[in-house]
Amino acid sequence: MLINIRRIAGVFIIMSAIFMLIWGDWHFSRQIKTLKINPAEIQFFSAMNETFHIENKFSKESATTQLIEYTVSPGEHSGSSTHLLVVDMPGKIRVGDADFIHLSISPDESAYENNTSPESEDDGSNPGAALPAIYSTHNLLTETRLEMDGMLFEPTGDVIVPFQPERTLSVYFTVQPQEAGAYHGVLWLHFQYVAKDGSETLRRLISRQSIELEAVSLGGLRGDTARFLGVILIFIGLALDIDFIIMIFQKFKRQPR
């Protein structure tokens, strides 16, 4: 009787340990939001003093994006320089574990293929000729900042990175919740337009992304604690059932082949 109870307890402990290990290593789904931006024409709009409005756009995750929209008069086109802004973030994250929020800006290849900017007339041998004139007169800097109360994250403050229109720009933020619950924040993206002759520096809002993360625990256990406890319980369960495991192994070995 006591042997059966011990064996049942060992199986239960092993199953619990396996569940902890699976939960501790489970890859939760991620949220990916993509939108098109045009840093060159946003700056151009400011220089031409055109009218604009702020439009709220909602993704499947109910996150809000604010974009500057504008109109450009005929004959005042600044050239095509469309880029894809992608924000990749976790939907859920285990308490105590670290994950990342990735913001990237990459050229929209389809836009470059269709580029017919007046400033780009050239024999076609220079791929950079398709870029608007703003890139030859100004240096562009991206200014990214994450704001999220109650969450440990880095880097903090403004992250300023030079922007090269023909290359992909990536910024990573590491996040690590210490308590279970829902966390809300904002990921800001501004562009700085620094004139190469030093005459002016402009700063423009490109995107405001709402960040929503859910930190989860297993009965109050952190991710690292659940994984460690799962390994310990595996050995305890195997120790309780060692005689049963040996018996099964010997029985299997004696079977005729």
131: which strand partners? Answer: none
∠171-177-180 over CA atoms, to 5°? 140
Which are the contacts of 56, defined by CB distance < 8 A and separation ≥ 6?
A: 64, 65, 66
* Structure-token match 């700085």, residue found: 192
19's enclosing H/E stretch is helix 2-25
Q: What CA–CA distance (Å, rounded) separates 68 from 207?
A: 8
Q: What CA–CA distance (Å, rounded) separates 191 from 207?
A: 10
pLDDT at 241: 86
Count Cβ atoms below 10 Å from residue 98 Cβ, excluding itself.
14
Closest CA to 202 of 50, 39, 55: 39
Per-residue b or e along 139-159, where b marks 16 or more CB atoms closer than 10 Å to that residue's CB = ebbbbbbbebeebebeeeeee
* Sign of the Cα pseudo-torsion (126, 200, 78, 85, in order): positive
Q: What CA–CA distance (Å, rounded) separates 75 from 71?
A: 12
Q: Is the peptide bond before 90 cis (omega within 30 degrees of 0)?
A: no
The tens digit of pLDDT for each residue in 112-129 reads 555 544 444 444 444 444
What angle do the packed helices 242-254 and 2-25 form, to 10 degrees?
Answer: 90
**Mind listing the pLDDT tens digit of every residue in the chain (257 residues)?**
788 888 889 999 999 999 999 999 999 999 999 988 888 776 544 433 332 332 333 233 333 333 333 333 333 333 456 899 999 999 999 999 999 999 999 998 765 555 544 444 444 444 444 567 788 888 999 999 999 999 999 999 999 999 998 899 999 999 999 999 999 999 999 999 999 888 888 899 999 999 999 999 999 999 999 999 999 999 999 998 888 888 877 777 776 66
Torsion angle of C-alpha atoms 205, 69, 167, 162, degrees rounded to 10:
-20
pLDDT at 98: 95
pLDDT at 110: 66
Per-residue b or e along 203-212, where b marks 16 or more CB atoms closer than 10 Å to that residue's CB = ebebbbbbbe
The tens digit of pLDDT for each residue in 198-254 reads 888 889 999 999 999 999 999 999 999 999 999 999 999 999 888 888 887 777 777
